[in-house]
């Protein structure tokens, strides 16, 4: 049975959301280790009707707060729920780690506790974008603000292997986020990356622009963590803005209120499809173990989704697939 270590203290609504999400996932046969302060978690479990089969607590007395920016310090805090949870994976006592907590702290601690896959210089955060034509993986979504061409080439390999193995997209199309289609567009780093990707055995379709991404032009979008993070947050803010505007438009007159009422179920379904919480969690790609970061604002349902996503990735052999990329193709200096 697949066992997931869950950072029970991570996220805006922890531990209520994490404990309830764990209970939901455990009902489907996934084992969950709730990592955090035992007394707090026992109280929360009691409030939720007791500890169900498949759920256990792993004690961790320290919590790294969302607002803490000292990711480098965080990785030394061996009693934190993040450190303890990742150590369970390291020791084989859990198959994957899920956290809705401080992403920078998860990233820095995973590097120390699990280490990097061979040939990977910088692990990246992958985010699945809700593209109507099919989920599209954006990486790096924010872990590395500045990247060298070799980092971006490694992201392309990691993303391609993840989409093929975990999401089940055969032979994924890989695009390089740029400001024009021509190979000579963009910064010197992007021009060199384009050359390297064109020589690779990946299904590289060339540069893609912001507008192509939501048209489903590719399965994997490669970008540095700065651009990827700006993109992700812009998309989130823009989708939110449009739905807010739509609600306001639909309540502006009797006619539109009636129209809105008739359309509501369909629009709600559409809004769910475009919700970043749909996929539950973003994989940290390039570390020696499955690690997933959920949105800080995750509710219980999103946490349960994150646990399902992590369990599915384990069952499909995520790490073996990522580790199977021959090192010489990664252009690593390691």
Of 252, 315, 320, 324, the one binding a second copy (CB under 8 A) is 252
Task: Give the nearer residue to a second copy in terms of CB position, either 78 or 215.
Answer: 215
For residues 234 and 320, which CB has a smaller minimum distance to a second copy in the complex? Answer: 234
Which of 135, 103, 132, 322 minimizes the C-alpha distance to 221? 135
Among 43, 145, 198, 324, binds a second copy (CB under 8 A): 145
Residue 95 or 224 having the CB closest to a second copy: 224
Q: Which stretch binds a second copy (CB under 8 A): 94-102, 107-115, 138-146, 288-296?
A: 138-146
Answer for the pair 268, 243: CB distance below 8 angstroms, yes or no: no
User: Which of 249, 297, 320, 324 forms a contact with a second copy (CB under 8 A)?
Assistant: 249
> Exposed (0-12), middle (13-18) or buried (19+): which is 302, by Cβ within 10 Å?
buried
Query: Residue 322 and residue 162: Cα distance in Å, rounded?
Result: 7
Residues in 208-247 that interact with a second copy by CB under 8 A = 209-215, 225-227, 229-242, 244-246
Considering only residues 267 to 296 of the shown chain, the ones binding a second copy according to CB under 8 A are 267, 269-270, 273-274
Q: What is the C-alpha to C-alpha distance for residues 141 and 230, in angstroms, rounded to an integer? A: 8
Phi and psi dihedrals of 255, rounded to 5?
-60, -50
Both tokens of 43, joined, read: 């109280």
**Tokens linked to 44:** 């929360």
Hey, what are 115's tokens? 């280490």
In whole angstroms, the minimum distance from the beta carbon of 103 to a second copy comes to: 11
CA distances (Å), origin 190, targets 10, 153, 230, 292, 334: 35, 10, 17, 28, 21
H helix count then E strand count, the chain: 12, 11
Contact pick of 263, 312, 316, 321 for a second copy (by CB under 8 A): 263
Nearest approach, Cβ of 201 to a second copy (angstroms)? 27
- What's the min distance (Å) between Cβ of 174 and a second copy? 17
Under the binding rule (CB under 8 A), the answer on residue 259 touching a second copy is yes
| Pairwise CA distance, residues 305 & 51, whole Å | 20
Residue 99: which region, alpha, beta or left (left: phi > 0; alpha: psi -120 to 50)? beta
What is the C-alpha to C-alpha distance for residues 333 and 197, in angstroms, rounded to an integer? 17
Pick between residue 40 and residue 189 the one whose CB is nearest to a second copy. 189
Rounded least distance, CB 98 to a second copy, Å = 23
Span of 11-19, 106-114, 115-123, 181-189 interacting with a second copy by CB under 8 A: 181-189
Residues 61-80 that bind a second copy (CB under 8 A): 69
Nearest to a second copy of 238, 320 (CB atom) = 238
Distance CA 6, CA 129 (A): 23
- The CA distance from 84 to 68, in Å, is 18
Give the interface with a second copy as residue ranges (CB under 8 A).
69, 131-132, 142, 145-146, 177, 179, 182, 184, 186-187, 209-215, 225-227, 229-242, 244-246, 249-250, 252-253, 255-256, 258-264, 266-267, 269-270, 273-274
């Amino acid at each position: 049975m697949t066992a997931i270590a869950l950072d029970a203290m991570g996220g805006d609504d922890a531990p209520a959301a994490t404990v309830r999400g764990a209970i939901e996932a455990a009902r489907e046969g996934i084992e969950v280790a709730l990592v955090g302060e035992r007394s707090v978690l026992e109280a929360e479990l009691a409030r939720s009707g007791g500890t169900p089969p498949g759920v256990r607590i792993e004690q961790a007395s320290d919590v790294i707060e969302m607002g803490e920016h000292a990711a480098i310090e965080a990785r030394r805090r061996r009693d934190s729920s993040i450190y303890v949870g990742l150590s369970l994976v390291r020791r084989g006592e859990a198959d994957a780690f899920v956290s809705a907590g401080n992403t920078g702290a998860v990233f820095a601690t995973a590097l120390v506790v699990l280490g990097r896959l061979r040939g990977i210089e910088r692990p990246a955060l992958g985010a699945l974008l809700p593209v109507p034509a099919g989920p599209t993986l954006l990486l790096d979504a924010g872990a590395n603000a500045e990247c060298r061409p070799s980092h971006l080439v490694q992201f392309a390999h990691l993303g391609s292997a993840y989409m093929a193995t975990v999401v089940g997209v055969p032979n994924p199309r890989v695009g390089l986020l740029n400001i024009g289609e021509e190979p000579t567009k963009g910064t010197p780093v992007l021009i060199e990356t384009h050359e390297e990707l064109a020589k690779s055995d990946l299904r590289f379709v060339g540069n893609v622009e912001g507008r192509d991404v939501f048209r489903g032009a590719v399965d994997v979008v490669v970008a540095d963590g700065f651009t990827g993070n700006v993109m992700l947050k812009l998309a989130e803010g823009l989708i939110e803005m449009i739905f807010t505007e739509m609600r306001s438009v639909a309540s502006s007159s009797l006619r539109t209120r009636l129209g809105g009422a008739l359309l509501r179920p369909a629009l709600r379904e559409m809004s769910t499809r475009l919700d970043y919480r749909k996929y539950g969690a973003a994989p940290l790609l390039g570390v020696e173990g499955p690690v997933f970061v959920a949105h800080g604002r995750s509710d219980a349902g999103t946490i349960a989704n994150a646990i399902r996503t992590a369990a599915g990735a384990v069952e499909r052999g995520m790490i073996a697939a990522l580790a199977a990329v021959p090192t010489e193709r990664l252009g690593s200096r390691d």
